[in-house]
Amino acid sequence: MSSETKTHWGSSYKLIAAEKWKAKSAVMGRGVTQALVAYANPQPGMHALDLATGTGEPGISIAARVGSTGHVTAVDLSIELLELANQRAQARGFTNFSTRQADAHSLPFPEGHFDLATCRFGVMFFSEVDKALRELHRVLKPGSRACFVAWGPFDQPYWASTMAIVQRHIGEPIGGPQDMFRFAQPGSLSAALRAAGFREVEDKLETLPWTWPGPAAEVWEYAQAVSTPFRSLLDRVPENQRDAINHEVHTQIGRYVKGDQVEFGVQVIMASGTK
């Protein structure tokens, strides 16, 4: 994660957005969360680590699966986002979910501590991927799995309808921030896992539901508020181009409106490795 991204991650605008949109954002991400939980296949009694948890998923969903004899430890750099994760877990009555501020590159846990690890849309932002993955490998028990979801290609409906339009209007190359899509090519994340010592490694490109439960205008407001890696791009939009960009974005998002919701679909990389 770049120093600029670290500065903005968990900053006030993102936290306000997370609070304002948390219910609808959870609905939009539900398909990805459910797919990652199914892929990780947590079992009752497991002690799981959810890395770069943000506001709590998939850790909270995994807590429901490991039951009262298991436990989920959710870690993130942002104390503020972890507070939101705690609130969400408490609202569901989970006592087997706890949070801890931690850097993925230096995890505050002993060797061989966890039965399972997950990371949803976080691995792309680790500044030293090999170091972070080796650290994750260290804290897993032998035979335990680490399971990831990373962004697939930038050229897909959600981004093509939003940030790609902004890039085109201000004359920047289309492609998104380098770190955000660093594992979009199938095989790249599995190579990183092998290099970090994982075995039985796999990754695959999957298309999953990505549905916003509301009107198109909300999607664009949400995307601008929470897309931290695109913050500098959005800040450079000239005032005299904003109306044109908004009009085009709303038109393009409108192509995916079905009834009272927006159905994009999303391409992601699912990957795993075993210690």
Pairing of the two strands 114-120 and 47-51: parallel
Q: Is 134 helix (H, G, I), strand (E, B) or coil?
A: helix
Whether residue 243 is predicted with pLDDT greater than 80 in this model: the reply is yes
Give residue 3's pLDDT. 35
Q: pLDDT for 94-146, tens place per residue?
A: 999 999 999 999 999 999 999 999 999 999 999 999 999 999 999 999 999 99
At residue 29, φ and ψ (nearest 5 deg) are: -85, 0
At residue 114, φ and ψ (nearest 5 deg) are: -115, 150
DSSP character at residue 44: T
Give residue 17's pLDDT. 62
C-beta neighbour count of 239 within 10 angstroms: 6
To 5 degrees, how large is the angle CA 212–CA 187–CA 3?
Answer: 65
Whether residue 250 is predicted with pLDDT greater than 50 in this model: the reply is yes
Which class is domain 3-274?
alpha beta
Residue 156 to residue 136: CA distance in whole angstroms:
30
Q: pLDDT for 51-80, tens place per residue?
A: 999 989 999 999 999 999 999 999 999 998
pTM of the entire predicted model? 0.91
Q: pLDDT for 160-173, tens place per residue?
A: 999 999 999 999 98
Find out whether 187 and 203 touch, Cβ atoms under 8 Å.
yes
Helices (H), the chain: 3-8, 12-40, 59-66, 79-91, 129-139, 157-160, 163-169, 188-195, 216-226, 231-235, 242-254
Write the CB contacts of 274 (distance below 8 Å, at least 6 apart in sequence).
143, 144, 145, 146, 198, 199, 200, 201
Q: Is the peptide bond before 110 cis (omega within 30 degrees of 0)?
A: no
Structure tokens at 99: 């949070």
Residue 65 to residue 104: CA distance in whole angstroms:
24
Give residue 88's pLDDT. 92
Give residue 165's pLDDT. 97
Find out whether 32 and 268 touch, Cβ atoms under 8 Å.
yes
C-beta neighbour count of 246 within 10 angstroms: 15
Considering only CA atoms, which of 196, 52, 40 is closest in space to residue 129? 196
Return the residue matching tokens 């509301």. 214
To 5 degrees, how large is the angle CA 229–CA 72–CA 117?
Answer: 60
Give residue 22's pLDDT. 79
Q: pLDDT for 190-235, tens place per residue?
A: 999 999 999 999 999 999 999 999 999 999 999 988 887 898 899 8
Structure tokens at 95: 């006592």
State the amino acid at position 210 in one-letter form. Answer: W
Find out whether 144 and 127 touch, Cβ atoms under 8 Å.
no
Q: Is 136 helix (H, G, I), strand (E, B) or coil?
A: helix
Find out whether 65 and 42 touch, Cβ atoms under 8 Å.
yes
Whether residue 1 is predicted with pLDDT greater than 60 in this model: the reply is no
